[in-house]
């Protein structure tokens, strides 16, 4: 997979330094992945939440943080949509970020 908005991901790492190790691990996993469907994601990340055919929420740092991405399976592109604490996630509409 290719990751779009990686600069945004690095900004999150700076803002939330205790999430950095797991964000780096997620990045490496994603760059090596060849996900073809949401089922492929669930095989690798059982705790990921599939919101629809493209939107996925990943739990980061023991569910302290949430990462929302849009995945385009045919083009193998992951677009970073949002990152924040679990409490911040509870206050947003994940479909509209």
Q: Residue 43 belongs to a domain with what CATH number? A: 3.30.2310
Residue 43 is predicted with a pLDDT of 97
The single residue listed with the structure tokens 């690798």 is: 44
Residue 71 is predicted with a pLDDT of 98
Tokens representing residue 2 in the block: 């290719």
Whole-prediction pTM value? 0.94
Range of the domain at 81: 2-90
- Where would I find the H helices in 2-85? 6-15, 20-32, 38-44
What is the bridge-based pairing of β-strands 77-85 and 2-4? parallel
Q: Does residue 54 sit within a domain?
A: yes
Proportion of the chain in helix, strand, coil states, percent, rounded to 5: 40, 30, 30
Tokens representing residue 16 in the block: 């939330």
Residue 10 is predicted with a pLDDT of 86
């Amino acid at each position: 997979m290719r990751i779009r908005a990686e600069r945004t991901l690095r900004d999150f790492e700076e803002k939330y330094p205790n999430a950095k190790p797991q964000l780096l691990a997620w990045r490496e996993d994603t760059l090596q992945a060849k996900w073809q469907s949401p089922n492929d994601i669930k095989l690798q990340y059982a705790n990921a939440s599939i919101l629809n055919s493209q939107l996925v929420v990943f739990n980061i740092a023991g569910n302290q943080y949430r990462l929302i991405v849009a995945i385009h399976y045919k083009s193998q592109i992951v677009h970073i949509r949002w990152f924040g604490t679990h409490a911040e996630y509870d206050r947003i509409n994940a479909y509209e970020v």
